[in-house]
Amino acid sequence: MGIARVEEVEELKDGLMRVSIGPQHPISGQGRILVVTDGETVYDIEIDIGYSHRGIEKILENRIYIHGIVPLERMVMLDTSPITMCYVRALEELYGVEAPPRAQYIRTIILEMNRIISHTYALGLFAESAAWNPAIFLWTTADREPFLDLLEMLTGARWSYSFIVPGGVRADLPQGFKEAAFEAIKFFRERLDVYVDSWIDNYLFEVRTRNVGVIPRDKAIEWGAAGPSLRASGVEYDTRKHDPYAAYEELDFKIITDTSGDSYARGGVRVKEMYVSLDIIEQALENIPDGPIKRSLPQRAPPGEAYARVETARGEIGMYVVSDGKDKPYRVKISPASFRNIFLIEMLPKIEELRFADVPVIFYSLDPWFLDADR
């Protein structure tokens, strides 16, 4: 059996060619990027998804509510808690209950730690896409370790926690967690300063990423951009502020935006968001109330329907859950951020002249996750 090619070229008319990048390629991940080019200028981009479709929505129809949390976490293993938070938020609306205040604070802490873990990974890939020093990816991989240790301390797992459940969380903060968290925050804040000084503010990196893949504010809204990709185009929108959940309504934090709308701005927004995440975790730890961490709920949800949304690291995710009164959902529909952000890549050649070498830079500045888009 021959070795499958990871790139294929199809000759088109007028000197154009369609280059297939992926689906087994460092740039594309678990998808395929079809680029129409003359070798330098890009005339069209098509993102071909479906290579990692697992039918999670259908799987949820065959799992009791609490067991549905596990397959949901497979959408984005770096950022599992916001996804399960969205599902749990919809279920709590169906049940007509709210988790206890202490549980809401613990939820916020784990959500922001997941945001940091996801953003560090995204920024490492972004640096590599711009042919930058590979040490950056090693930095971001190593520097998230203290938060993985904290999550293991809290949940018993470094990935795939299944910790946020309907009615609250599975466990309380363990002894010594606060002290370890404050130490991790201090360490990571100093590391972020290093990122900015040696990488983000580096002239060569700015040259490679500024004015590349510019998404104007009106187009970001029209095309449905989400998360940092939306806020980097000057849209001050964050579900944590505009439709608060967990303990966000009781905490003081700002929405990070930029008006440039280019690849550099999208990376910069993520760096600044991690500073904000550290502030949120500190506030939550300092102000967490005493009390129970969970309410008991019956296995069967009342008949009805509910919609919930949550801000993941990649942007807003929405879930629509329909209950027919049984112990399993009748229907779950998921609208992930990556699916919308992938669409942005396809639209960019229509408004901007792109170079072939800019494709990976734009792709990773948007931080799409094929497993998230495919579901």
Q: What are phi and psi of 47, to 5 degrees?
A: -95, 120
Is 101 contained in some domain?
yes
Q: Domain containing 24: what range? A: 7-48
Could you read off the pLDDT tens digit of each residue along the chain, which spans 375 residues? 223 344 566 666 677 888 888 777 666 677 888 888 888 888 888 888 888 888 899 999 999 999 999 999 988 888 999 999 999 999 999 999 999 999 999 999 999 999 999 999 988 888 888 776 678 888 888 999 999 999 999 999 888 899 999 999 999 999 999 999 999 999 999 999 998 988 888 888 888 889 998 999 999 999 999 999 999 999 999 999 999 999 999 999 999 999 999 999 999 999 999 999 999 999 999 999 999 999 988 888 899 999 999 999 999 999 999 999 999 999 999 999 988 898 888 888 888 888 888 888 898 899 888 888 887
Same domain flag for 147 and 13: no
Number of domains present in the structure of the chain: 2
Q: Does residue 71 share a domain with residue 21?
A: no
- Compute CA distances 293 → 100, 107, 108, 163, 298, whole Å: 6, 10, 13, 12, 17
Residue 137 and residue 41 share a domain: no
* Residue in 147, 209, 154 with CA at minimum distance from that of residue 176: 154
Give yes or no: residues 11 and 149 share one domain.
no
Q: Are residues 91 and 206 in the same domain?
A: yes
**Considering the domain boundaries, does residue 190 fall inside one?**
yes
Residue 311 pairs with which residues in a beta bridge?
316
Same domain (yes/no): 24, 150: no
Q: Exposure pattern of 297-335 as b/e (b: 16+ CB <10 Å)?
A: beeebeeeebebbbbbbbbbbbbebbbeeeebbeebebb
Whether residue 21 is found in the same domain as residue 135: no
pTM of the model: 0.91
Same domain, 90 and 115: yes
Judgement on whether residues 221 and 276 belong to the same structural domain of the protein: yes
Do 155 and 15 belong to one domain? no
Same domain, 248 and 174: yes
